[in-house]
Chains A and B, each alone.
Chain A
Amino acid sequence: MQKRVKFGVGVGIILATVSALAVVGYREQPTYYHTIRELPNLKPSDARQRMRVAGNVEQGSIVRLPGRVDFVLQGEGQRLSISYVGKDPLPDTFVDGSQALVEGRWMRDGRFVAEKVQAKCASKYEAAPGQQKTGDGYPADPNKKG
């Protein structure tokens, strides 16, 4: 019986340590997902959290300035101005119309300061189911009919 207790203590120590580490790790950088539409209605305490917002990059909105890149993210009929201030170069897939996921903080002036931008080029990924048979983005060019 005593061996079981010893073993149980060992297991307990491991689990407790890992749980403690998990809590510490979690507190370090929790990031909340919000939609563009939710932002104006957040409680002040929530609005200060680090967050991720997804949307599509508005056509022609990318402006490259010294030290930052400004663009507009669209989603659910709303617009959100973003300033990317991160150190890494923007991904190759970040272009007009691409789906982007920005991570950073929302400022009181309504601007979102992003430290990270992930982008998926819309054309690279497949169309949503159901769209595929209608040409998948190709215009129905009569010359190209098979």
Chain B
Amino acid sequence: MDLLGFFALNLAFVCALYAVGAGTAAILTRNPFLVKSARHAGLAVCILITLGTASLVYLFLTDNFSMAYVVGHSNRELPTFYKFAALWSGQEGSLLFWSWLLSVYVFSVLFTYRGRHPELMPYVGVVLAGVQLFFLILNNFVASPFQVLGAAGPDGAIELFVPADGKGLNPLLQYPEMVIHPPMLYSGYTGFTIPFAFALAALLGRYPGEKWIHLTRRWTMIAWCFQSAGILLGAHWAYAVLGWGGYWAWDPVENASLMPWLTGTAFLHSVMMQEKRGMLKVWNVWLVFATFLLCILGTFLTRSGVVSSVHAFAQSSIGPWFVGFIAAVLAVCLWAFLKNRDYLRSDNQLDALVSRESSFLFNNLILLVACVAVLSGTLFPVLSEAVSGSKISVGPPFFNKVNIPIGLFLLFLTGVGPLLAWRRTSFESVKRNFGGSLLLGLLAGAVAFLLGFRDFFSLVCLSLSVFVALTIASEFLRGALVIRGRTGVNLLSAVGRLTMRNTRRYGGYVVHFGMVLVFIGLSGAAFNRDKQMEMAPGSRIEIGPYTLVCQTFTTRPAQNYTAERATIEVLRGSRQVMMLYPERRFYPANEQAGTMVSIFSTLREDLYVVYAGRSPESDQPVIHAYLNPLVKWIWLGGVIVVLGTGLALLPDRQMGLAARARAQKVLPVAAAKPVSASAGSYGQERRERNPTL
């Protein structure tokens, strides 16, 4: 099996090389046979990498301890579920997994557009195969997962040896979320390769128009959705497993995943400027390039040890390869841009400061500023060493100081932007669209202030959240009322119809609403509390409205570990609300301990209890309890963001035939997206232009 996988990867490398070569030749000669042949090579790469990955999974499942990678990341007692996840728990396997996910995307793209867009697809194929080639070089020649274990025998010759058992999977990774978080995040990282390939292909091929944007919109959203889910699952994993009471520490690896998300988010918004107004063409192309480069940079930061991080992989020789690849990609992008930049002339100019365009521009600017801030903060040790010779790191205060105001401004734009009209917006329509929501938002902030909440940013966040949520709700309501007035259906199904008519727009609103919930959750962090205490059975901790009563400490063996478990009764007043069982687990295979946090989560707050260990003096168990308000809103918001993206991915459902015919006759502009709407709202638009509706 190891040989099969090994040769499959070798062959995949050859095929990718061929796809680049034949693809380039196909572009130069316009030979249809070569085009087809290069595409088939691209498809074959996917099948071969799948074979290689499957054989590595097989080696894990069959406990084949002749393989160095299997020994390093698995053991016999490891549950099957985690043997599967062990695939991506180390450097070599995760790079293979990366290649595999990318190849699945590439396969889908090549297969979906086979025989279509003949001016564009050969270029796309070459770019994609080029990226694959890089990762296949790593898989084959730099970090091959198919290495066997050997030791120098008495005569100096290397002899193979097979240990009786493996060293086990890192206990921190033995958690259900660790099985889904990396695939999600990697799917995000790799997914951004697709819009990148199309953007570069369109530029290289001097392919006119916005077609590459239309073609990649769904791919970008899929990648973005995976990236969002991956980041939030990672945060949740850190929260539920690492046991330090928080979910985000501005660790370089976290930052690495956030940066392409920021530029990707900017891209998803700024493409609308290009689609609707023919502006920002250069900007869009570079946003995609930057997003892809940040994905590669993220992979590099995680693996090279260039900045120290809690969960980075070992320092390894892989760094220079990534630096070389980033430099090469940047060089190609720059060359293509300089050569063909005439094709990216803007069709329009900015008309007014208060308009949809400018809100998009500010949104992009601010997302990019956030990204630059995170990037410079992450790389500060490297930069400062290069400039001043001393390696300096900036702590969480730096990231928080910069990003909290940026985040709040972004939240504000989330509410304002979608309701501003294209080109210019009158003060009257601003007042009509935002007046009520803004007032209620401020009122909510004032009420919170009177109730005793005094954290400035949290109050601003609350006001803005209420404001944005209300603007979104009123958008749905306004459109739905029009539909109800016209068709007589009840309000709820009117909302449904409205949404299905323009899934992109209303799905987008749902995503915005999810982000509002995430922000509300984040703002709770200002009010976190915690207490740590040695606890004998019977002793109590009071935290917030809860009283924790320690009942027993027991030891319980499990398949792959032994757990020490505390049984803690949670009282609210004198009423029992919950039993919590925080654990410390000991994993014999790698002689490591791990914590299993126990959380009682409500919408109001999380009671988060950690069995921190035993006190060195008294040998009493130490319990650390945290009270973290509103955390649940973050995960809830994440779910809504994913659902909203899914909604936006659905095709629009056409209106009923009669209605459509009428719309086409009377409302040629409103049936398409309104460009010069005063309010920008669908329902508003229809009412204003056709009072009979």
Residues of A in contact with B (beta carbons under 8 Å apart):
3-4, 6-7, 10-11, 14-15, 17-18, 21-22, 24-26, 28-34, 46, 52, 54, 64-66, 69, 87-89, 92-93, 101, 118, 120-121, 123-129, 132-136, 138, 140-141, 144-146
Contacts and interface: CB of A to CB of B under 8 A. Distances in A.
Contact of B159 (A14, A25, A129, A145): A145
B617 A3 contact: no
Contacts of B592: 92-93, 121, 124
Nearest to A30: B392
A92 B595 contact: yes
Contacts of B148: 133
B624 A135 contact: no
A19 B351 CA distance: 28
A32 B381 CA distance: 8
Interface centre among A14, A124, A136, by most chain B C-beta atoms within 10 angstroms, is A124
A63 B370 CA distance: 43
Which 8 A-B residue pairs are closest in the complex by CB-CB distance? A64-B616, A146-B162, A25-B401, A33-B391, A25-B398, A29-B395, A140-B151, A89-B612
Given A7-B361, A28-B395, A141-B161, 20 more contacts: A3-B353, A4-B350, A7-B358, A14-B365, A14-B366, A18-B406, A21-B401, A22-B373, A29-B396, A33-B393, A34-B391, A92-B594, A125-B313, A126-B90, A134-B151, A135-B149, A135-B150, A138-B149, A140-B161, A145-B160
Contacts of B493: none
B310 interface: yes
A14 B151 contact: no
5 contacts: A14-B369, A31-B393, A92-B595, A118-B308, A136-B68
B613 interface: yes
Interface string B177-197: 000000000000000000000
Contacts of A64: 616-617
Contacts of A127: 314
Interface string B639-661: 00000000000000000000000
Given A6-B353, A32-B391, A138-B151, A128 B400 contact: no
B672 interface: no
A133 to B, nearest CB: 5
Contact of B402 (A25, A54, A138): A25
Contact of A10 (B147, B310, B353): B353
Given A7-B358, A25-B399, A123-B591, A30 B351 contact: no
A144 B313 contact: no
B395 A146 contact: no
Contacts of A146: 66, 160-162
Interface string B594-613: 11000000000000001011
Contacts of B553: none
B492 interface: no
A53 B152 CA distance: 36
Contacts of B161: 135, 138, 140-141, 144-146
A10 to B, nearest CB: 7
B147 A133 contact: yes
A144 B147 contact: no
A136 B149 contact: yes
A66 B534 CA distance: 12
A100 to B, nearest CB: 11
B278 interface: no
Nearest to B376: A22
Given A28-B398, A29-B398, A10 B362 contact: yes
B394 A135 contact: no
A88 B159 contact: no
Contacts of A7: 350, 353, 358, 361
A65 B91 CA distance: 38
A18 B373 contact: yes
Interface string B368-412: 010001001000010000000011111111111110011001000
B164 interface: yes
Given A118-B310, A133-B150, A33 B381 contact: yes
B315 interface: yes
Contacts of B310: 118, 120
Contacts of A22: 373, 376, 398, 401-402
Interface string B144-173: 000111111100001111111001001100
B232 to A, nearest CB: 24
A92 B244 CA distance: 12
A132 B167 CA distance: 14
A138 B394 CA distance: 39
Q: Is the interface of A mostly helix, strand, loop or mixed?
A: mixed
Contacts of B68: 132-133, 136
B213 to A, nearest CB: 24
A48 to B, nearest CB: 14
A129 B147 contact: no
A26 B394 contact: yes
Given A92-B593, A138-B151, A126 B72 contact: yes
B693 interface: no
B622 interface: yes
B31 interface: no
Interface string B347-369: 00011110000100110011001
A24 B401 contact: yes
A120 B68 CA distance: 21
Interface string B338-351: 00000000000011
A57 to B, nearest CB: 15
A15 B373 CA distance: 11
A11 B244 contact: no
Contacts of A101: 308
Given A101-B308, A132-B147, A144 B397 contact: no
A110 to B, nearest CB: 21
Interface string B308-319: 101001111100
Contacts of B316: 126, 128-129
B416 interface: no
Given A126-B313, A133-B147, A26 B152 contact: no
Contacts of A15: 369
Given A11-B365, A33-B381, A87-B532, A17 B405 contact: yes
B216 interface: no
A143 to B, nearest CB: 9
A89 B396 CA distance: 20
A121 B167 CA distance: 13
A73 B395 CA distance: 23
B335 to A, nearest CB: 29
B242 to A, nearest CB: 9
Contacts of B612: 89
B344 to A, nearest CB: 20
B608 to A, nearest CB: 14
A15 B369 CA distance: 8
